[in-house]
Chain A
């Protein structure tokens, strides 16, 4: 309403001025001269011109944008304010050029700038609306076309006039239109990307990356342009104050764009190296909706160390902002460093310790096999002489082996070196020798056939060490190194040991179950010697079977005669749980309870475990739980890279 009245008043004034001039001079040229000579008349004419320009602007806006949205209008108002103040600053610089023509050019520039901003907002709006009509496309395309033509024309015009007439305010115009041209190009690229995305059938994951790089390239162009202009202005005129604010914002957004690219690249790198792809089974699990986009995960998805699964692209854009799991806020940058690369064994040990109290994750001189050292000291001393078994101290040496050179022993020479307090009693051999997957099975099965028990070692346990003789000096030195690979190798060895222990516990549990189901109270003990039997040299396997059965009688008497307190003598506190449950192996019910309780917390430490809450329910779903644990163990065996021989 106000705009209409202003328009009307200015129109009336103009007609009055023109009519008055015409009334006095009767002819066209004298009237024009008359008007230009009179200052009040000229003021009216200028106001009229301004009103016409504004009306033209409104018309253009209606043509190219239709109704402006509230946000667009606010945006426009904010930026116009700055643009006007900067224009005033620029005026002060070019006082000499001050002329109506010059002012008109600035006003035109302002209008064109406003149209560029609006076009930018409109193209950004494409991402926000589900309804993009063909009119929208028509408007945007034609607008970009018109704007780029105008920008080019004015850049050219400024260039020509500078070349012919020397440096003047035209330099400023030329530069401003160059910047506007950049903006048009930027808008055009965005528009093309958005249009491709809108018309594609599937979500276009890489659009964000393209937008990011567009931002960087255009930012770079703008920064270069601003600095060139700054230098030119300083050399020809003076310091252009009106330039500083836009220059600051350009630099800031350029820096942000570069930062975004760095973060994005880091996120992509982390995604590709640290986190495994989710398997089809995990994806087909019940609730497989990606929490970031709330869509089903049918395509590329990643699993974080905390077992949460997300779309690769969703996770990437999230990691650009924060390096945490969106669901549980686990700091994923810290955890994988400990778990996967083992760069920090102490911290890794701390991280594992609460989950795996029964297995010490760091080299421990006193670490012995609990079954042998702790529970049955002196039970199998004859093994050593009879079968000339390997010395029992693999653990203290193992940590010094680099990857690719698995733990190993010099046969029967290092028995007294760094072993436990009672080397002679440590009948536990080093990790199993290579054996075919089913080799040890006859010994593992209890003597009663109808037990529903799966083979405990479907997959060979960790590789045994090759002989030390195979190593050259350099390799031996590398074994002792404190560098990353050495530590990684030691941790690998410890993990192998941990797996062995877990497997042994599992084995025991299965035996006890078998014993319980068969309702016999005689034949359940041989499981303890199984470890030594299976791990002994294959040649020794056959004779050992008789030994183990004989030893079973011995061990069956032990639990009652030897309380568990005595069994802890040589056992580190953290392996006590293993040893303390062995005496109860004769009472299968207790064993069931103790092993279950013990295994469940241990399984929390494995990366693939999901059911921490399942441990309370073991009493009911015992066999299911067992299967679950076994599956995990097997997974772990196959998942972990084993030392090569």
Chain B
């Protein structure tokens, strides 16, 4: 019998394959290793990221549902809640007590109730509604607040890049 982390990841993969949420594809990069996934997230409609297809990588810890995975976009991103190197900073990816930003309430933190699907859906809604109090990317946060047009322009450029258009 495989370990519980592996069994749960396999179950989640099965679930995601059978009932894929709209605009999200996710699965192990290599089915020999279920602890490294890649995901493709389409930008939510009606936002500046609309139309983009953003690849990301998820790395799961060996005690997976007890600790959260790490998520990192592998394409260029410009967003208040995404570090320059692509790491995603949202509360669902942090366990309570592990608080890099110091503002998140524990209700939306990681717990085994969460899942890959919920993480990806949270990321989609994060793309739609950035939290500009989080300083993962200070420049982006500032621009989001003060110069929305410029922000939209950069986002559109990134969207075009992910589609291989420019």
Contact = CB atoms under 8 A, between A and B. Distances in A.
Interface string B106-121: 1100011100000000
Given A322-B96, A326-B111, A203 B31 contact: no
A203 B7 CA distance: 10
Interface-centre pick from A127, A131, A201 (highest chain B CB count, 10 A): A127
A309 to B, nearest CB: 13
Contacts of A204: 1
A294 B128 CA distance: 30
Contacts of A159: none
Given A130-B31, A317-B66, A322 B95 contact: yes
B2 interface: yes
Contact of B31 (A69, A131, A321, A326): A131
A236 to B, nearest CB: 41
13 contacts: A128-B6, A129-B6, A129-B33, A130-B6, A130-B10, A130-B34, A131-B31, A194-B3, A294-B8, A294-B11, A321-B66, A326-B111, A326-B112
A128 to B, nearest CB: 5
Interface of A: 69, 71, 124-125, 127-131, 194, 197-198, 200-204, 207, 291-295, 313-314, 317-318, 321-322, 324, 326-327, 329
In which size bucket is the chain B interface? 20 to 34
Contact of A198 (B1, B8, B32, B62): B1
Closest 4 CB pairs of A and B: A292-B112, A127-B3, A128-B35, A326-B112
A293 B65 contact: yes
A191 to B, nearest CB: 14
B4 interface: yes
B108 to A, nearest CB: 10
Nearest to B11: A294
B138 interface: no
A199 to B, nearest CB: 8
B62 A197 contact: no
Interface of B: 1-8, 10-12, 31-36, 62-63, 65-67, 95-97, 106-107, 111-113
A124 B7 CA distance: 16
Contacts of B111: 322, 324, 326-327, 329
A592 B2 CA distance: 56
B1 A293 contact: no
Contact of B4 (A130, A200, A203, A329): A203
A131 B7 contact: no
B62 A69 contact: no
A264 to B, nearest CB: 12
Contacts of B35: 128
A318 B65 CA distance: 9
Nearest to A319: B66
B33 A125 contact: yes
A637 B2 CA distance: 44
Contacts of A125: 33
Given A128-B34, A318-B112, A293 B4 contact: yes
Contact of B2 (A71, A124, A130): A130
A561 to B, nearest CB: 53
A198 B65 contact: no
Contacts of A326: 111-113
B54 to A, nearest CB: 21
A332 to B, nearest CB: 13
Contacts of A129: 6, 32-34
A318 B113 contact: no
A179 B150 CA distance: 58
Contact of B1 (A71, A203, A329): A203
A295 B2 CA distance: 13
A293 B8 contact: yes
A329 B66 contact: no
Nearest to A126: B3
A295 B6 contact: no
Nearest to B111: A326
A69 B12 CA distance: 24
Contact of B33 (A128, A324, A329): A128
B62 A127 contact: yes
A292 B6 contact: no
Contact of B32 (A131, A197, A207): A131
Given A69-B33, A124-B62, A291 B6 contact: no
Contacts of A292: 8, 65-66, 112
Nearest to A327: B113
Contacts of B4: 203, 293, 313-314
Given A131-B32, A293-B7, A294-B11, A197 B65 contact: no
B44 to A, nearest CB: 27
A321 B1 contact: no
A128 B8 contact: no
A204 B66 CA distance: 17
A128 B5 CA distance: 8
B112 to A, nearest CB: 4
Nearest to A202: B1
Contacts of A71: 36
Contacts of B12: 294
A198 B111 CA distance: 27
Contacts of A194: 3
Contacts of B66: 292, 317-318, 321
Given A129-B6, A129-B32, 11 more contacts: A124-B62, A130-B10, A131-B31, A203-B1, A204-B1, A291-B112, A292-B112, A293-B8, A294-B12, A324-B111, A329-B106
A194 B59 CA distance: 21
Interface-centre pick from B10, B11, B32 (highest chain A CB count, 10 A): B32
Contacts of B95: 321-322
A291 B8 contact: no
Contacts of A131: 31-32
Nearest to A322: B96
B67 A321 contact: yes
Contacts of B97: 322
Contacts of A313: 4
A317 B111 CA distance: 13
A307 to B, nearest CB: 15
Given A127-B6, A321-B95, A329-B107, A200 B1 contact: yes
Contacts of B32: 129-131
A208 B125 CA distance: 36
